Amino acid sequence: YYALTAFARRAPVWVSMTLWHMARNPLQYSWLILLLVLVSGIGILATTVGATLDRSYEERIRYEVGADVRVSGLPAYFGRRDGGIKNIYGSLDGVDTLSLALRSGGRVGSGDQGVPFSLLALESEGFDVWYRDDFSTVPLNNLLAQLGRQDPVEPILIPENATQIRIWANPAEYYQLVFLWIVLQDQTGRTRIVTMQELGFPGWHLMSANLPDDMVGPLRVLAIQINEPGFGAVGTVGSAVFDNLHAVIGSTGEEVLLDDFENNLDWIPLATSAIRSDELVLVSDVVHDGESAAWFSFGKETNRGTRGFRRASGNGRIPVIASSSFARAAGASRGSVLIVGVSAGLVPIEVVDVVEYFPTMDPIGGGFLIFDLPTLLSYVNGLNPIAEAGVNEFFLSADDDDGLKVFRQVSALVRNQGHVTGAQPELEALEQNPLITAGWRAMVIAAMLIIVFTAGLGYVVYLLAFTERSIGEMAALRSLGLSSKQTAGLIGLEHLMVAFIGLGIGTWAGFQMSRMMVSAVTLTDSGGRVLPPFVLTTDWTIMGPLYGVLLLIFVGALYSLGRRMIHLDLHRLSRFEG
């Protein structure tokens, strides 16, 4: 009240008169304000609920598919990493990009009682997927770039004409049933174990194995492992020193040195437990040749029956993106280091970022982890080539307007070997569903017509009633010297303020009603929660023009009223009043 009084003293007379008039009898505007609140609230409700549900249905499809076409549930033989998938499906007419993926699950920790989670390993370079900005605080491209941030290490390549691989070993003592394995990978990505003899008795001795001739060279050394029957914490505790890993050329018998373990030790012990019990260092007191050798100390914990070390640099951890639900369940955060168990064994990970949602992944329960596919496959297949993992899913991005054509081609090729989903076919089916999109559009159109008619008629009736009630007051003000412009300003300010107050409160109320209503109806067909969560969306292409039409009606009615008040016959009114 005091602020209004102070403002009224300094404001122009037509503004002061308007404010005093409205403050003196505010209830005279109540029925018009309530009418405008009702109609504008209904308009916001109709356009917001409809637009939100339309967007939610579309985003549910895009979240489920991820790209234009998604092929999932592929059998193991279908997803072998021999380049066949990319050669066949990547060359289809209309295909822009193809990204391979592996979908699986795992548990946190080295035991079977850890928090379960789902995982998706994808090709982080060039992965083209639908993504919403509120899924994470970091853009998608920056997220995926973090998955491939491992320090590069020069691979150990075996000459193509080599027939044997050898290494010098010196165990600290005799370990019964402890065998030495070398894990190899060929150019197609397939991995294979070559088994050498038992570690044997203490003292330097040469261990060797023949190289497989059915792999595509040049072969690459992934890991050196020791294998012992049994799982869990039942392994023999001990140590061994290794030196001069080399290959033998079959035709000449020439020995080619692969790693002499002299300067840089680009090897990392395999993860066997949350607390590292294995150690790999260079030593100089026990060597076969040169100045140093690799000393490997192993504990009783095993990784699916194996221990050893793999080719890597730095800390050897695999970067992952975690869902916030996984972070809560596992007590992790950005930068956390964990051990997780997957089907092939234990994997050391580092959480490089946290997201709320990721396409095709459900964050409920233990959440999910996102891996880089080549990095994960290189690790797990080097860990356990017997249970070699391969891709079981892939995503296709189509050229403009070719989504349906690509979907049909892929469906014809996959047949019953996997499940094919396409974004465009499902969106077209959604568009034709009368109970979803078409139904809301019909309701919105009907609501807009009712709103324009009701609000326009109500405002005109209100102004007519105001004219009959206030014509004497306006005549008195005109006779006291109120100019035509001041009269027009007084009338316009008073009644436009009433209109804006009604429309403003109605708009706010409409958003609140929409939020409550959408929360109740955004459920899946089975009654489950919607992924991704809905984003409240108003169709301003409808509400904007609607407000514009109402404003034109209001201004037109005020213009007519203002002209009448400005051209009052004061002499006739004074005789009539007298």
Characterize the bridge pairing of strands 220-227 and 267-269: unpaired
Residue 316 pLDDT > 80: no
Region 205-226: mean pLDDT is 90
* Summary count for the chain: helices (H), strands (E): 13, 21
Rounded Cα gap, residues 42 and 475, in angstroms: 39
pTM over 0.85: no
* pLDDT tens by residue, 39-50: 888 888 888 887
Is it the case that residue 527 has pLDDT exceeding 70? no
The stretch 9-30 carries a mean pLDDT of 68
Tell me what pLDDT residue 158 has.
92
Question: Shortest CA distance to 366 belongs to which of 319, 327, 320, 318?
Answer: 327
Q: What is the CA radius of gyration of the chain?
A: 38
Q: Residue 559 above 60 pLDDT?
A: yes
> CA-CA distance, 499 to 486, in Å (whole number)?
20
- Distance, CA of 26 to CA of 297 (rounded, Å): 87
Tens digit of each residue's pLDDT (9 = 90 or more) over 411-426:
898 888 889 999 888 8
Out of 22-26, 62-66, 370-374, 541-545, pick the least confident.
22-26
Q: Is the peptide bond prior to 532 cis by the omega test (within 30 degrees of 0)?
A: yes
Per-residue DSSP letters for 72-111? E---TTTT-SSSHHHHHHTTSTTEEEEEEEEEEEEEESSS
Average pLDDT, the chain: 82
pLDDT at 576: 47
Looking at this protein, which amino acid is placed at residue 454?
T
pLDDT confidence tier of residue 173, bands split at 50, 70 and 90: very high
Q: Span 23-44, mean pLDDT?
A: 80
Spatial separation of the C-alpha atoms in residues 468 and 445, rounded to whole Å:
35
Distance CA 438, CA 444 (A): 10
pLDDT recorded at residue 282:
93
What's the pLDDT band for 29 if we cut at 50, 70, 90? confident
Lowest mean pLDDT among 364-373, 471-480, 503-512: 471-480
Instruction: Give the highest mean pLDDT range of 130-144, 383-397, 468-482.
Output: 130-144
Q: Flag whether pLDDT at 388 surpasses 90.
A: no
Q: Domain-by-domain residue ranges, the chain? A: 2-62+433-577, 74-150+317-417, 156-311
Mean local confidence (pLDDT), 265-292: 85
Residues 433 and 500: their CA atoms lie apart, in Å, by 38
Does residue 6 register a pLDDT over 90?
Answer: no
Using the predicted structure, report yes or no on whether residue 571 has a pLDDT greater than 60: no
Q: How confident is the model at residue 521 (pLDDT cuts 50, 70, 90)?
A: low
CA dihedral 87, 89, 90, 95 (to 10 degrees): 160
Most confident of 105-119, 362-376, 488-502: 362-376
Three-class SS state of 200: coil
The answer, yes or no, to whether residue 578 has pLDDT greater than 50, is no
Q: Find out whether 391 and 381 touch, Cβ atoms under 8 Å.
A: no
Nearest to 167 by CA among 248, 97, 110, 59: 248
Say whether pLDDT at 60 is over 60: yes
Q: Classify 397 as helix, strand or coil.
A: strand
Element (H, E) at 449: helix 439-479
Question: Strand, helix or coil at 451?
Answer: helix
Q: Give the Å distances, CA to CA, from 116 to 106, 286, 333, 366, 518.
A: 6, 44, 17, 6, 32
- Quick: pLDDT tens for 89-136: 888 888 888 999 999 998 888 777 788 999 999 988 888 889 999 999
pLDDT at 151 over 80: no
288 pLDDT band, cuts 50/70/90, is very high
User: Would you state the pLDDT for residue 549?
Assistant: 86
Angle (CA) 413 427 74, round 5°: 30
Q: What is the pLDDT of residue 232?
A: 65
